[in-house]
C-alpha cells in the first residue's frame, strides 16, 4: 500500500510562472489536506478537500492559489504568477475519514514527502 | 487559531535521554501529536496522545501531557544518532481532530 505520493519533489519556477503540485492520497483515502512550510517555520494549514469538494480553504492565500481534488486523478495545488515568497515546501496529507475523526477512530492522517518549490 | 510553541534547538549525547517540550494555547485540543522530519523528507507520525490521558509510552518514546499548564513533552530514551531530526508538536482542535496546528519544530542533534 503506497503512501501519500507527491510530485514533483522539487520544482524551480521563475517569477510570474505557474506551479502545479500533485498529490495522490493513500489508497482508500478520500480526504486530502495541503500544508505549507516556509523556511525555518512549522507547517501551516492551507486547504482541506474531499473528492470534488473544497471543505475548508481558510488557510489559502486569497489570490493566485487554488486547489482541486477531482473525481479521478490526484489533487492539484496550483499557484499562479509565483513570487519569491512562495518558495516553500508544500506537504499533502490524506486520511480515510473526515477531519473531525481522530486516530482513536482509526483516522490517522498521513503526510507525503513534500514538494519543494523554489522561485528564482 | 491555536499557537503552539517549541524551543528551536536541542543537543544531546548518544545514549542520553532527550526531552523536547511544547506549549499550546487551545485547551480544547482533543489530540496532541509528535511528528519527526528528517532532512529533505516528509513528516512521520511518531505518536499521539488523547487529551484525557496524562502519559503514553511507546518503546523508547514517552509522552507527558499536563493539561492544566498546556504543556506537552516527548522523551526519547537512549537517544541514537538516527534520532537527529526536527520534531514537531501539533495540536488538533475540537472542531477537527485532523485540523492540525504545528509548532515551529525542535531540531534535535545527537552527538556521538
Nearest CA of chain B to the CA of A46: how many Å?
Answer: 11
* pLDDT at residue B95 greater than cutoff 70: no
Q: Is the pLDDT of residue B96 over 80?
A: no
Render pLDDT for A81-107 as a digit per residue (tens, 0 to 9). 999 999 999 999 999 888 777 777 777
pLDDT digits (tens, 9 = 90+) for B2-39: 788 898 999 999 999 999 999 988 777 778 899 999 98
Q: Which residues in chain A have their CB less than 8 angstroms from residue B41's CB?
A: 113-114
Q: Read out DSSP for chain A?
A: ----EEE-SEEEE-TT--EEEEEEPPTT--EEEEEEE-TTS-EEEEEEEETTEEEE-TTS-SSSEEEE--SSS-EEEEE-S--GGG-EEEEEEEESS-TT--GGGT---EE---EEEEE-
Check if B47 contacts A (Cβ < 8 Å): no
Amino acid at each position: 500500500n503506497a503512501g501519500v505520493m507527491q510530485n514533483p519533489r522539487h520544482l524551480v519556477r521563475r517569477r510570474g510562472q505557474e506551479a502545479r503540485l500533485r498529490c495522490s492520497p493513500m489508497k482508500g483515502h478520500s480526504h486530502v489536506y495541503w500544508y505549507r512550510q516556509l523556511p525555518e517555520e512549522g507547517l501551516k494549514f492551507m486547504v482541506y478537500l474531499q473528492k470534488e469538494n473544497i471543505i475548508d480553504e481558510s488557510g489559502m492565500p486569497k489570490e493566485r492559489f487554488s486547489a482541486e481534488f477531482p473525481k479521478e486523478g490526484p489533487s492539484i495545488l496550483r499557484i499562479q504568477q509565483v513570487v519569491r515568497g512562495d518558495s516553500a515546501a508544500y506537504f499533502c496529507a490524506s486520511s480515510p475519514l473526515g477531519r473531525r475523526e481522530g486516530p482513536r477512530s482509526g483516522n490517522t492522517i498521513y503526510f507525503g514527502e513534500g514538494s519543494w518549490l523554489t522561485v528564482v | 487559531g491555536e499557537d503552539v510553541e517549541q524551543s528551536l534547538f536541542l543537543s544531546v549525547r548518544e545514549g542520553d535521554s532527550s526531552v523536547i517540550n511544547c506549549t499550546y494555547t487551545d485547551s480544547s485540543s482533543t489530540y496532541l501529536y509528535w511528528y519527526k522530519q528528517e532532512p529533505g523528507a516528509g513528516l512521520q507520525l511518531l505518536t499521539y496522545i488523547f487529551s484525557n490521558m496524562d502519559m503514553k509510552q511507546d518503546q523508547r518514546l514517552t509522552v507527558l501531557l499536563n493539561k492544566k499548564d498546556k504543556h506537552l513533552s516527548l522523551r526519547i530514551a537512549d537517544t541514537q544518532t538516527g534520532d537527529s531530526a526536527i520534531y514537531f508538536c501539533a495540536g488538533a482542535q475540537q472542531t477537527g481532530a485532523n485540523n492540525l496546528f504545528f509548532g515551529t519544530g525542535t531540531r534535535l542533534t545527537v552527538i556521538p
